[in-house]
Amino acid sequence: MRKTALITGAAGGIGSAAARALAREGYNLLLNYRNSRQAALNLQADLRREGCDAITFRADVADADRVAEMFAKVQEHFGGLDLLINNAGISQQKLFTDITQTDYNCMFDSHVRGCFNCCQAALPSMINKKSGKIINISSVWGIEGASCEVHYSAAKAAIIGMTKALAKEVGPSKIQVNCIAPGVIDTGMNKDFSTQEIDDLVDSTPLGRMGSPDDIAELILFLASSKADFITGQVIGVDGGFR
């Protein structure tokens, strides 16, 4: 029987790489997006051509009611959920003194509230069947902190705390909750960095290159597999040694 995964922010670099990797492993997929409708539809079409049962669902994950509708769709279409990947998020570079209340709220809504809402929607059925995996995408900045990205760093750090606490709470129900902390990854989230800033980040990475979305997808595959059934509450860096 095929397993089912729900990926938030599935149209982005890491989300789409994860979707393609999981499709190759035989997963059914719900591809969540908020604004990137065409990219999500293009990804869905690609996956369907490869034999994957993939559907899209537009939802702002900060909206708990819309998230509930999305999880109801998973239940209706696939009959349940085995894997949740909380990947949706936004980025912004600003001096701390210039961050507005709107900036702060949008950052925490996208990352923290979205992760909270999706975990809360996923867990009742996972707890009932005593099985399931949740993978949250944080960032190296959630561990190290980044100048001019205080609200982003704080939101990503909150995801780490949520992961560790939730793993302890749902462990007795045989559910694993883990976190990936990517380093400098070659995705559209770096679009606001200058060439010099990217070069400086690469120079600060011992392996001497940016990571690729596929580097993250490979770890997602491992954590989703039975090989990782005794791993929970962990924050795993995929950062080329950046820390």
Q: Active-site residues: which are they?
A: 152
The closest alpha carbon to 217, from 188, 192, 186, 189, belongs to: 186
Q: Is 17 exposed, middle or buried (0-12, 13-18, 19+ CB in 10 A)?
A: buried
At 177, give phi and psi (nearest 5°).
-125, 120
From residue 157, alpha-carbon distances to 64, 185, 194 in Å are 22, 18, 25
Kindly report the backbone phi and psi dihedral angles of residue 18, in degrees, each rounded to the nearest multiple of 5, phi listed first.
-65, -40
235, 160 Cβ separation under 8 angstroms: yes
Neighbours of 224 (CB within 10 A): 23
CA angle 237, 108, 184 (to 5 degrees): 30
Taking a C-beta distance cutoff of 8 angstroms, is the pair 83, 3 a contact? yes
CB 122 within 8 A of CB 83: no
Residue type present at position 61: V
Residue pair 7/88 in contact by the 8 Å Cβ criterion: no
In angstroms, the CA 216 to CA 232 distance is 17
